[in-house]
Amino acid sequence: MNTTTIGFLYPGFGAEDDYPYMQSLMPANVALKLVHTSVGTDAHEVDALLDLGKSERLLDGAAALRVSAPDAVLWACTSGSFVFGLDGATRQAEEVGEALGIPASSTSLAFVDAVRALGAQRVAIAATYPEDVSKHFRALLEDAGISVVSLVSHDIVTAALAGELDDDGVIGLASSNNPEEAEVVLLPDTAMHTARLIERLETALGKPVLTANQVTLWQGLRLAGVTVSAPSLGTLFRRTHPTRDQQH
């Protein structure tokens, strides 16, 4: 049985234990390999995030991942991709992909593709970040043709603090921005523990919820051409088949 390996470049530490949990939902022939990339200053500040996502850090991570011979690679970071804008985030992913010779993407780009795969046009964002950071995510989505009907920022100043939110805290954060006109609610922070909560989140909000680690996995499976049934990971995994023919 051939194994498909998906590589993840995860900045520092926060909610990396979402990945062993998601691995437990995968078939035996799908392996998730995570490499921690270096972090300068852990801060939800634009300059710090531009440093977090700079080429040197990602390419060092890609080099460490090479031994696992991944079939696709994801920069598992939302803020460290969206601060570069849509074009910049695309170039960032392409650089990592070219270094390894495989398809590549990032969490920000995965959100775009996941919203499209659900056939949605109007989204709400419940963000951990300060507003000056969150607005960069809104801009990336809007540049991709997605309408952001509402944005709420929670001013959590570091990834470490975002990772300390408990289940009720995550559900409360998501519930803070759930306008009726939004077809989907987005939670854009890979440092926040969400993988085990998606069914609870969707029940609480009454609509699809996309979370950072969930869409990152979905995008990796899609780029690797693998179809996986994982209904506990929410509407995205029930309504869509993460295969390459859905690429945008």
Instruction: Please spell the DSSP secondary structure of 56-119, one letter per residue.
Output: HHHHHHHHHHGGG--SEEEE--SHHHHTTHHHHHHHHHHHHHHHHTS-EEEHHHHHHHHHHHTT
Per-residue pLDDT tens digits for 46-104: 888 988 899 999 999 999 999 999 999 999 999 999 999 999 999 999 999 999 999 99
The pLDDT of residue 246 is: 37
End-to-end CA distance of the chain: 30
Q: Please, which pLDDT band fits residue 160 given cuts at 50, 70 and 90? A: confident
Task: Provide the pLDDT for residue 159.
Answer: 75
- Total-model pTM: 0.93
Q: Give the length of the chain.
A: 248
What pLDDT, on the 0 to 100 scale, is given for residue 248?
33
What CATH fold (topology level) applies to the domain 113-211? Rossmann fold (3.40.50)
Q: Quickly state the pLDDT bin for 112 (edges 50, 70, 90).
A: very high
Fold of domain 4-110+213-243: Rossmann fold (3.40.50)
| Residues ≥6 apart with Cβ < 8 Å to 99 | 59, 62, 63
The pLDDT of residue 163 is above 80: no
How confident is residue 136, by pLDDT bands cut at 50, 70 and 90?
Answer: very high
CA dihedral 219, 118, 179, 147 (to 10 degrees): 80
* pLDDT(116) > 90: yes
Q: Where are the domains of the chain?
A: 4-110+213-243, 113-211
Query: What CA–CA distance (Å, rounded) separates 193 from 191?
Result: 7
Average pLDDT over residues 22-48: 91
